[in-house]
Structure 1
């Protein structure tokens, strides 16, 4: 597995297994066990996914030493602010059944972001978290909040795929060696992406499926990717991207697919209110 060195010196596997929208109480446990058996060593969960306990149990039952598995979780909006964030992290650790997480993110960029970030900085100093980062920050939102931080995020986890390559954001973050983690790296199953002629032609040439071509392109371009599936064959297949390499011309063909538009706009009016209303992790 290829690893990427973050700006704090820690290493993160380039391909992780995401568990967003996989139900708790069984399905997440089964999917994570399948992923670990297939060779994944990077699992991405969140308080608002409601499945941290399943992730923790799957990791313990896998028999793989904890230090060999990179675990990410995320603080939800309800727990923003300095004191609330400290409690939110402790709750995640309790549900995971772990003493630390490798990466902890501010899940959404709204509300008392600065207070929550201070709590994450202290948690890192205390050893509860190895690396800290943010999620869903556009260039505009990044410039609003990050100058208030004492330390820089290690990652920004955002929607990113060949149709939405986040070029402006990547240029901004590159100055401080902040890595992009791509959620929905396969375009959330967008058939127009998965069946695109450029991708189909490359898949035929390399004997791969469309998803493998897309993930190869993204990893080769320096992204950390978080594909999600509950299909054992697809879970394993999404890791089989390290036995071939796209040429410079083929990379340029993939770059040309960028439309600059994604499915989620963090700057849209009312997003924070909608998220808080629809995702309540506690009373």
Structure 2
């Protein structure tokens, strides 16, 4: 049986647009022909949803692929995100302007805050000149660093939840309102967030004012189903898009793609593993953002199908001990480059 090809995504003034239920992720594509070729292959295979971000450094390649695909712009759903050092309310639109210029687009369909924290830029001028190319440095990205080589945090504009963890006072509301202004100006059709917890979402929900929180992009897969966060989103009309839908590698080298249960279910359903995991995600009412450079896998990942309740329950039961409901922890993320997702 088939699964829905699109979900309704809330936009301004009570309206909705359709977002394809399977997206193609562009993180770690690299600034070379691989990114362009992979996106062209994905569009050729039938993908109409591209998940992007300024920090990925491949906007130019993606824009060229869209143009060369021959598919009308209005048929391709484009998501992008601003990196935390563009998070001051005065700089959010600047990041979107850079994305639009690099991708040669007049608008994007969905614009997200990449993280619930805000960092300080070196200066406005540095942001205007900033590049996210694969060989960029913190300086050429326009980022202000501390003496320890870490991003300088703008606590005032972090979410209240994150600021409080460090004994600081903050509010993401002004940044959220700057995101909403991008819709008002016609540069984005909808806006949302990424890596937000329930507490972070609760801070901005009272401030929708006709332009809703349309999406929360988080890490989701059977090892980390994020059920409470996904259900909270559904309750408030927030679509959950899922990065790393095939999970990564555990400390012991184990991977979800080679898990015995997953392999058995894939064989039972005459699917490959990526297709199975994508099907699980869509059937839960979420949107997987898988990525691959292999044409056959690019195509099969898009071909999601309805699974039996028994198979869904088997995948649901694979949650790793202690992982149910876990969200990306800011203190944990602080110690690694925030490139994921």
The residue aligned with 2:238 is 178
Instruction: Determine if the alignment matches structure 1 residue 267 to structure 2 residue 329.
Output: yes
The residue aligned with 2:304 is 241
Please, what is the CA RMSD of the aligned residues? 2.1
Contact 1:82 1:119 in 2 (8 A): yes
Q: 1 CA distance for matches of 2:333 and 2:203?
A: 17
Determine helix, strand or coil for the equivalent of 1:168.
helix
Deviation, structure 1 residue 203:
1.4
Deviation, structure 1 residue 148:
4.8
The residue aligned with 2:248 is 188
Instruction: Determine if the alignment matches structure 1 residue 65 to structure 2 residue 72.
Output: yes
Contact 1:85 1:119 in 2 (8 A): yes
Given candidates 122, 130, 144, the residue that maps to 2:181 is 122
Structure 1 unmatched runs, 5+: none
Instruction: Determine if the alignment matches structure 1 residue 37 to structure 2 residue 44.
Output: yes
Q: 1 CA distance for matches of 2:296 and 2:63?
A: 23
Deviation, structure 1 residue 274:
5.4
Matched pairs, number: 274
Deviation, structure 1 residue 270:
6.6
Q: Which moved more, 1:28-37 or 1:201-210?
A: 201-210
Contact 1:183 1:226 in 2 (8 A): yes
* TM-score, normalised via structure 1 length: 0.90
- 1:180-228: CA deviation from partner (whole Å, max 9, x where unpaired): 1000001136644223333222212221112211111111111111001
Change (3 A) 1:232 1:189: farther
Q: 2 CA distance for matches of 1:51 and 1:32?
A: 10
Determine helix, strand or coil for the equivalent of 1:181.
strand
The residue aligned with 1:108 is 115
Instruction: Determine if the alignment matches structure 1 residue 140 to structure 2 residue 221.
Output: no
Contact 1:110 1:272 in 2 (8 A): no
Instruction: Determine if the alignment matches structure 1 residue 225 to structure 2 residue 277.
Output: no
Structure with the bigger percentage of helix: 1
Q: 1 CA distance for matches of 2:76 and 2:249?
A: 27
Change (3 A) 1:272 1:94: farther
